Structure 1
């Protein structure tokens, strides 16, 4: 696939690296000369400019791109990127941060294919969204970590808490959530936990056990 990444910060760098390692073609856009130089040194084709403008995106030849990701720290810029990319038939991925309300999420989600919270899943999530896959990101996770899906039991002390605010051990991440019988997705900022929910967790094996215990009411901090 040919992928265009707008924003070569922490998330953009790692996403570009993962895509490149998997054999995909990557073009980077950033308006910071230092980041442009860093991308050049990493071996990527780079365009220096404001990725939210049609003029800059025209240089990326979006008609030949399969997917475009707005991964800057500014969701408005990212949305502008995706809006233009949609006009060229590209798959679109937009980065927002956890503090956004569900209303804002819904506003953005109507105009893009995927929304990612890098704080929840990182570059693996952005890569998966770009390629249009599910949330099976095991290939991107160090061998020291385990991935599993946990079910929230009736009576769990976690019921009513926001997924993104759930107390989990350091290094553990809840990277996807789904209601009983529904597909799993990256949780919305205000998604509250209900009995029967599925939580996909990445963590060291011992930490997974801690998360399971907390969902069942044991060892609650």
Structure 2
């Protein structure tokens, strides 16, 4: 894929390095000369320009890219970039970085954002995941489909410890995508049994989250 990343700070460069490692073509854009540090990601293309300007995006040939990632430290800029990418260049996928949680509600389809990533919310979710057993922790929201990526660590006294995956009465449309066990990733095969301490990753509709949490929690 060809991916354009607006914002060449530490976050943008880190994303670029990961994507290049996965075989993607990357263009980094930033309006600050100090941020143009091509030696740090030599495999990427670099453009000194203001990504909020239509002419800059035309120079970046956004019409030929598959994904635009707005990763600047300014929420207003990230919204403008996403909107221009979607409405002026019909970019198939846009990802917007949310810097301030109070602005999360703006990062939606109306501003051209397909996927929003809230750094503060993600960090707090990871903290919760590290210390919480038996409670559902929301890690990520897929806005277009009203679904979420959630995690639950199986408590020892859950009624489904020792139960095969296929024998659990999962809520409708809930998908168990992975089981993290003993520092490895286990596929959720139908005959695999759930164990105490398993970290379960689900994709679920938001309205099914409570049901899912109650299903796996200890019965009183």
* Secondary structure of 2:78 counterpart: helix
* Secondary structure of 1:100 counterpart: helix
Give the unaligned 5+ runs of structure 2: 132-136, 151-170, 184-195, 201-212
In the superposition, the TM-score normalised over structure 1's length comes to 0.56
Distance 1:165 1:104, change over 3 A: farther
Matched with 1:148 is none
Q: Larger relative contact order (C-alpha < 8 A, sep ≥ 6)?
A: 1
Cα displacement (A) at 1:34: 2.3
Matched with 1:8 is 8
Cα displacement (A) at 1:56: 1.4
Q: CA RMSD in A?
A: 4.0
Counterparts in 2 of 1:1-221, with a 5 A limit?
A: 1-37=1-37, 39-43=38-42, 44-86=44-86, 87-91=88-92, 92-97=94-99, 99-100=101-102, 103-105=105-107, 108-110=108-110, 111-121=112-122, 167-169=128-130, 174-176=138-140, 184-185=147-148, 209=197
In the superposition, the TM-score normalised over structure 2's length comes to 0.56
Cα displacement (A) at 1:40: 4.3
1:30 and 1:203 map into 2 onto residues whose CA distance is: 38
Cα displacement (A) at 1:94: 1.1
1:96 and 1:202 map into 2 onto residues whose CA distance is: 29
Cα displacement (A) at 1:200: 9.4
Give the unaligned 5+ runs of structure 1: 123-162, 188-195
1:90 and 1:36 map into 2 onto residues whose CA distance is: 24
2:25 and 2:75 map into 1 onto residues whose CA distance is: 24
2:35 and 2:176 map into 1 onto residues whose CA distance is: 36
Corresponding residue pairs, total: 161
Matched with 1:158 is none
